[in-house]
Amino acid sequence: MVRDRRTGLAVTTDLDDDGLRRAAEGAALLAAAGEPVPGARLGDPGPARTHDGFDPVVLSLDASSAGAALLGAAGVQGAFRAGAARTAIASTRGVRAYEQRTFAEVRVRRGTPEGRSLELSAAAVGPGGVDPAELAAETDALLGAGTPAAVAEGEHAVVLGPWAVAEVLRRAAVTFAGGNLHGRMSTRVAATTINLSDSPRYPGTLPRAFDAEGVPRQPVPLIQDGVAHRAVHDATSGTSTGHARAPGGLGGPLPEHLVLVGGGCEGLAELATPVAGGLLVPGLSLRGSWVIGEPGSAMAEGVHHIRGGEIAEPAPNLMVFFEPLELLSAVQALTATQRAVPATPFPQDSARTASATLAPGLRADGAVHVVGPIA
């Protein structure tokens, strides 16, 4: 309920007419007692494009055994999740929206006796789109074995795996939510090799027709040839592009279906070829909070040294600092192949809002600062 720029939210599982009426009355009371949000409103109706993001196989899975069966058949230890959601949205502004969508996700985590670790993940519309055995083999290969060699504190040239790149992109994407760019629109914010978009129907993503306000979700080019091009909006932050996380300005907009266009390198080994000395970082995981425009910390996992253009001996898990757009400004090359990396962690209502980032690997000249090892 949005009244006088105040938004109230009530949730109910009592879905008869009386239950819905009580929920509406409760939302109205909360709106009357809340603080005003500048511009708070609900989205306008519009036609949404259909998508193929629903796999009926998910509905037939046994919740208690599906993961064990899929992973066991592949001989893999890991985690599997899948979900399905049917969502209908109606509002007094005339919105009438409906879609059904599914997701499947596999995560494989490995560790070594020396304390090194690596987690890789994959997402698809249904279980047929994820291959646990392939993911486990890739995790083992990238983690490797052996005694880790120390890494000097300071800035290093890096080759990032798609899973690390996905984390960088999700940090950078916050900058393109509403008005967070603060005058940097139409200016260079990344290397010319960077073309980043929010593309909710791009092949390989988890397609989505509309946002939490029922507004059709539009593809939005965020960065074109390194230049900040557009931002995403909900109905409260501007002309809506269909990126509301909650109605009435409660959640703010966010790009959630990121696609980074790949380059010409065959794989991570080719990216490493020009690097005389640096680090291979297959995975990054966020540590602590992140402030837009400032460096933040992350744990680098599965790290290896790069020496003379070759991926060499392992390194320990590392605490690193980087600022996402600064790192993207230092990019020199990208792999041709992209991977669908699920968001981490999924929201509580993951079947409805599940998303994945399509990311290639990349090479960057610096912009990653190593603080030290993580035990």
Rounded CA gap, 113 and 110, in Å? 10
Give the confidence band of 349 by pLDDT, cuts at 50, 70, 90: low
Burial class (CB in 10 A: 0-12, 13-18, 19+), 33: exposed
Q: At 278, which helix (H) or strand (E)?
A: strand 277-281
Kindly report the pTM of this predicted structure: 0.95
- What pLDDT is stored for residue 343 in this prediction? 86
Nearest to 118 by CA among 270, 318, 339, 342: 318
Please give the average per-residue pLDDT across 76-99, as a whole number.
93
Arithmetic mean of pLDDT, 292-313: 95
pLDDT tens per residue, range 43-54: 999 999 999 999
Please check the confidence at residue 278 and state whether its pLDDT lies above 80. Answer: yes
The pLDDT of residue 181: 84
- Residues 205-219: pLDDT tens digits? 999 999 999 999 999
Q: What CA–CA distance (Å, rounded) separates 153 from 220?
A: 38
Domain ranges of the chain: 2-33, 142-373
Report the percent of the chain where pLDDT is more than 90. Answer: 85
pLDDT digits (tens, 9 = 90+) for 258-274: 999 999 999 999 999 99
